[in-house]
Amino acid sequence: MNTVNKKTDLSVNVAGLKLNNPVIAASGTFGFAREYSDYIDLNGLGGVSVKGLTLKPRQGNKPPRIAETPAGILNSVGLQNPGVIHFIKEEIPFLRKYNTAIIANIAGNTIDDYCKMAEILQDADIDAIELNVSCPNVKQGGVAFGNTCAGISEVTKRVRAYCKKPLIVKLTPNVTDIKEIAKAAEDAGADSLSLINTILGMAIDIHRRRPVLAQNFGGLSGPAVKPVALRMVYEVAHTVKIPVIGMGGISTGEDAVEFLLAGASAVMVGTMNFVNPTACIDVVKGIEKYLEQYNISSVMDIIGTLELNDTSTAGGNGCGCQIESK
């Protein structure tokens, strides 16, 4: 059984969500944790963000709904899940056997869906709610709630009225300016933000001349998205006053440390769980090793300590383009 040694202080408090360490298993990649309990000691996780929940059970999209890419995967699973009531009755009792935080990730196609789930979960034995705002709003022509400031503001504000537990809003990267979206969520009552969700992508079967995925498009995750995720986490962490949970391509402890330095108070590990079922514990150990290497007693001491290079005389404009001299 893969476990974690406790030598340094890895504990963090993310806006009232107390974690034994800053590593959370990301929603959609860890089921309800049962699937991984034979491989790792779940007590070694900071938390588990469970499979995305909807009001009623869903079968998800028809296959193919997973496609491998050179450095990640595309998915269009479609939130297959047994529904929020099943989660409360069957999955929470299992998870409560372990000393790890339980985060309920909820999704819906109307704001009423989100509000009803938040109300149902209010008395459930969970530690926080994570709002998946990448779902299409059927009342607004299918535009995802998280794609506009108005959309994310409305759903966050409405859910906030029903949610007394720590409320995490999960941001989509498929926007023009994620800083504006983050600020709108903060102003509407989010306790913390998690980012990034998957990046919209596509794979094509050149022999059939059709998309690989039955839904044509899917969400890209894995190592390929890490540079984008790091940049967005840095930008958001330096825009809002609430804590940020970083994710996107984390495979190792070193990857996680990058996100912490960029300003994340905790991290989520997703796609790598499919490749390596002990990934989350390995990341915890990697963070601990880094702290010991530099004689740092608490993980809190490295959060947001990144120092940017001085670009004032570098001859570039920060986007990889050279500035012409006049």
- Report, as residue numbers or ranges, the catalytic residues: 135
User: Residue 313 contacts by C-beta under 8 Å, 6 or more apart in sequence?
Assistant: none
User: Residue 234 contacts by C-beta under 8 Å, 6 or more apart in sequence?
Assistant: 262, 263, 306
Q: Cα separations (Å) of 64 from 81, 106, 201?
A: 17, 24, 15
Q: How far apart are CA 316 and CA 202, in angstroms?
A: 32
Rounded to a whole number of angstroms, the CA Rg of the chain reads 19
Single out the residue of 180, 219, 173, 175 nearest to residue 196, CA to CA: 173
Question: What are the residues facing 195 on neighbouring strands?
Answer: 246
Single out the residue of 153, 96, 101, 99 nearest to residue 129, CA to CA: 101
SS3 101: strand
Helices (H), 57-177: 84-86, 92-95, 111-121, 149-160
- Please say whether the beta carbons of 14 and 52 come within 8 A: no
